[in-house]
Every structure is written in C-alpha cells, then in structure tokens.
Amino acid sequence: MTTLRLKQGPAATRVLGVGSYQPERRVTNDELSKIMETTDQWIRDRVGIIERRFAEKDELLVDMAVTAGHNALADAGVEASEVDTVIVPNCTMPSPIPNAAAQVADRIGVKAAGAFDLNAACAGFCYGLGVASDLIRSGSAGKVLVIGAEKLTDVVDPVDRANAIIFADGAGAAVVGPSDEPGIGPVAWGSAGDLVDTIYMREHRFIYQEGQSVFRWATTQIAPIAFRALELAGLEPSDVDVLIPHQANLRIVEAIAKKLRAKGAREDMLVADDIRYSGNTSSASIPMALDHMRKAGTVKSGDVVLMVGFGAGLSYAGQVVICP
C-alpha cells in the first residue's frame, strides 16, 4: 500500500504583531441626523457610537486591507517575504470573484501566497485566526497574515436609519507564526443557520437585519462561547485581562462582560469599547480594537485577551490570545 508523507508543524503559534487602518473621513451622529430621522442621543444610548469612519468612493476594501497588513507586518518586525499565506476575512467584496486575498498579497509583496477570503461575517476574524493557527500547526503554512477588512458603506442603504448609523469601514490585521509557548488558544466556533433570515444581503443589495432578534441572540448565546474558548484554553474567567467582543453594539459588549464577571471575571478586566469611535466594522472590529488598545497603552504585551466574534450566518467564534 502506498503511504503518503505528511507534514507536521510546530505545536504552538502566537500573534506576532497587529495593525489596522481606518479611512480619514469621520462621520458624526449629527451629520447622519441631517439625512435620516435619528438623533445623536438615540445612537449614543442605544448603540454607543459617537462617530465612525466612512471610506471615500474610490477607496476600496483591498486598499484598506493592504495598509492594515503592512502595519501588522511592521509591528511584528516580519518581512512580507517571510509570509506564505494571506487570509482576508470579509463579507463586503463588491463581487465574489476575484477574491481580495490574492490582490492584497500581491500588493503587500507576499509572492505566490496561498490566498483566500473567508466569509463568516462579523465572526470572520476569529475564524481566520483559528484557521491560520491550525495551518501553521499542521505544517501547511509558515507565517500567515490574517486581515479582516470591510467596506460596509457599499452595502448599506445610506438613509436606512436601522443600519446606516451602525456600520462603518476599516481593516484590522494580525501576523501569526510559530511559537515556543502557546499564544493562541483553540478556537470555539459554531453557527445557527436556522436564524439565517435575521441578517442578510440579497443579490448584493443592502444589508437587512432584524435588530432586536440579533440583539437577543447575541446577549444570550455569545457569553457561553466565550466561556467555551476559556475552557478550551484551560483558563478561568478570572485569568482574562482584556475582553474584546465583536463591536456590534456597546450594550451587547457590556452584556457579555457582565456575564463573564458574574462567573468570576475581574472587575478590572478591560472591555473593548472601540465601537464608540469606529462603529461596527464587522470582521475588522476585533483586530482594530486590539490595535487601538495597544497603541493607547491600555493593553500590554503578555495580557490574556479573550476575543469573541458573532454575526450573519448566524456564525460565531472565539479564542484566547496572548497579546504580542
């Protein structure tokens, strides 16, 4: 019988560096209230957003991903030539082909990269990180660039007050590589396809979501995923230094934090609130929040970071990461 040779990678991986990018244009709640029936107060109270960033017409998802990818490589001190795989989690490329990843890899200078997009909507970055880590551990990849990038303004009706006040544009990236000590815990992921009709975009038109149904689901079903990610990593809630849930709504973020604290997470656990100045950037929101918190000096190297993403599908994923 013929036996195939298999590859075996290192036992552990870690995030080597992170980076992000946001478009220049800041859009305040007051600006939105001039084109739709809403108020600054309603948005702050119900969603927690103070302002968000919108890309210009000619600034594409791929452009934002390239800059975030460059920034993550610089942060990691890794050359593009050391990377062999590029994953771009997103759900807003203008059409299914071509994908974003091959163009992004080429423009960053990653030659002949394994390159693919990954669509798990707002859970995309945590899915991508899990896949990257396992590709390295299996020996299929050496160093992987994972870039969550979204241009949600392309897929939101600009005067739909249910969605236009929430979604925004941007990109967040992480370089993943081998490690002596485990720096990325096992991914806890799953889906609830029976709830598919609660968030969708038909025939590449605009996003529709049943806000209240998704809100109820997120505030009840996502904390258990965070607990599962901790359990898989062999940690307790009290070990978490930083909680970064997908930045969908500050009230959802706070509800997840409350559930973790009820089960032993510390009062001084830092909770990401990047949505306040970035809006909901789907698969970019978690790495962007981490990058902003590191730059602000509130998160430091070695901190235990618990990430959990959730969104259309419905899909969810979470894992523990040691901050680079």
The residues assigned a catalytic role are: 122, 246, 280
Q: Is 201 helix (H, G, I), strand (E, B) or coil?
A: strand
Give φ, ψ of 149 to 5 degrees: -140, 135
Residues whose CB is less than 8 angstroms from the CB of residue 101 and which lie 6 or more positions away in sequence, other chains included: 86, 87, 88, 113, 115, 116, 117
211 versus 224: smaller Cβ distance to ligand UT7: 211
Both tokens assigned to 105:
């890899």
67 versus 280: smaller Cβ distance to ligand UT7: 280
Is the four-CA dihedral 56, 62, 64, 66 of positive or negative sign? negative
CB atoms within 10 A of CB 56: 12
124 versus 183: smaller Cβ distance to ligand UT7: 124
175 versus 248: smaller Cβ distance to ligand UT7: 248
Q: What angle do CA 64, 70, 74 make, to 5 degrees?
A: 145
Residue nearest to ligand UT7 (CB): 211
Is the four-CA dihedral 203, 34, 279, 102 of positive or negative sign? positive
Both tokens assigned to 167:
């979604």
Q: Which of 136, 148, 30 is nearest to 84 (CA)?
A: 136
153 versus 249: smaller Cβ distance to ligand UT7: 249
Q: Which residues of 240-257 are buried (b: 16+ CB within 10 A; e: fewer)?
A: bbbbbbbbbbbebbebbb
Binding site for ligand UT7 (CB under 6 A): 38, 42, 46-47, 122, 161-162, 165-166, 209, 211-212, 214-215, 218, 248-249, 252, 280, 311
Which is it for strands 26-28 and 199-201: parallel, antiparallel or unpaired?
Answer: unpaired
- Smallest distance, Å, CB 185 to ligand UT7? 23
- Smallest distance, Å, CB 140 to ligand UT7? 30
- Smallest distance, Å, CB 317 to ligand UT7? 13
- Smallest distance, Å, CB 143 to ligand UT7? 29
In eight-state DSSP terms, residue 38 is -
- Smallest distance, Å, CB 212 to ligand UT7? 5
